[in-house]
């Protein structure tokens, strides 16, 4: 995939969150995209409530679909694809992706409690896949918040919903160094973006899906 593709495809993954919300599932969404043809092979969301299976994460749903559809070639499809997933894969999914061997994982926000691409462990033992963190970081968090706000509203112990909306415009920073090295970041986005990594700025994209220069850089240019 080209670096200017990542924002576009992550948007598609995030939009699929509406389906997860409709199904009353925690909106963690993923899409698998063919690196060459750029075809979206499959979209999935977390299915743990519908299936009663605590392992039915979006990544596993894609695996099941592909295995079923292309039992003979699905593993080579993974090797030539990029996974866009709204939240950092958990340890289980990161290990699964490591075992089957994917090419690249792009994720939105970190998974602080269970993350397997750096938050808790960094599981790249076997296939050394590429990791691109923080694409649509804020959108991924907002999607999760939409779910949890709904849940709280349903709960009888819910208190004072108005105050909750205050928090919605605030987002925790993402610490890129937990997930990838500075060199890896530069290899993905280019030397001119390295201050984003150093200062842990958010990844912002312009209308052509091109990553905007770091704030420090653009300020310098203006002055």
Active site members: 59
Instruction: Write out the two tokens for 215.
Output: 């704030």
Please state, in angstroms and rounded to a whole number, the distance separating the CA atoms of residues 146 and 157: 18
Contact 126, 183 (CB under 8 A): no
Please state, in angstroms and rounded to a whole number, the distance separating the CA atoms of residues 51 and 40: 24
Q: Is 67 in the site for another protein (CB under 8 A)?
A: yes
Q: Is 72 in the site for another protein (CB under 8 A)?
A: yes
Q: Which of 4, 80, 99, 183 binds another protein (CB under 8 A)?
A: 99
| Ordered DSSP codes for 133-189 | --TTHHHHHHHHHHHHHHHHHHSTT---HHHHGGGGG------GGGTS-HHHHHHHH
Q: Which of 92, 144, 149, 186 binds another protein (CB under 8 A)?
A: 92
Q: Which of 113, 156, 169, 223 binds another protein (CB under 8 A)?
A: 113
Q: Is 123 in the site for another protein (CB under 8 A)?
A: yes
Q: Which of 130, 160, 156 minimizes the C-alpha distance to 35?
A: 130
Which of positions 26-55 make contact with another protein (CB under 8 A)?
A: 48-49, 51-55
Q: Which of 100, 136, 180, 196 binds another protein (CB under 8 A)?
A: 100
Q: For residue 33, count other CB atoms closer than 10 A to its CB.
A: 23
Which stretch in 3-11, 118-126, 133-141, 186-194 sits in contact with another protein by CB under 8 A?
118-126
Return residues touching another protein (CB under 8 A): 48-49, 51-56, 63, 67, 71-72, 74-75, 90-93, 95-96, 99-100, 113-114, 116, 120-121, 123, 125, 157, 159-160, 163-164, 166-167
């Amino acid at each position: 995939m080209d670096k200017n593709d990542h924002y576009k495809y992550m948007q598609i993954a995030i939009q699929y969150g509406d389906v997860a919300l409709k199904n009353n599932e925690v909106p963690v969404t993923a899409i698998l995209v063919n690196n060459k043809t750029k075809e979206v092979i499959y979209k999935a969301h977390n299915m743990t409530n519908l299936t009663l299976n605590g392992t039915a994460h979006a990544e596993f749903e894609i695996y099941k679909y592909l295995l079923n559809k292309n039992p003979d070639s699905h593993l080579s499809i993974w090797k030539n694809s990029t996974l866009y997933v709204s939240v950092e894969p958990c340890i289980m999914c990161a290990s699964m992706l490591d075992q089957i061997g994917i090419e690249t994982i792009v994720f939105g926000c970190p998974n602080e409690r269970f993350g397997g691409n750096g938050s808790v462990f960094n599981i790249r033992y076997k296939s050394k896949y590429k990791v691109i963190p923080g694409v649509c970081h804020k959108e991924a968090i907002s999607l999760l918040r939409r779910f949890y706000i709904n849940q709280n509203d349903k709960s009888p112990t819910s208190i004072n919903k108005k105050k909750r909306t205050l928090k919605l415009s605030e987002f925790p920073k993402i610490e890129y160094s937990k997930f990838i090295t500075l060199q890896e970041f530069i290899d993905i986005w280019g030397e001119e973006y390295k201050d984003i990594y150093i200062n842990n700025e958010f990844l912002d994209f312009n209308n052509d899906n091109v990553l905007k220069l770091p704030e420090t850089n653009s300020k310098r240019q203006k002055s």
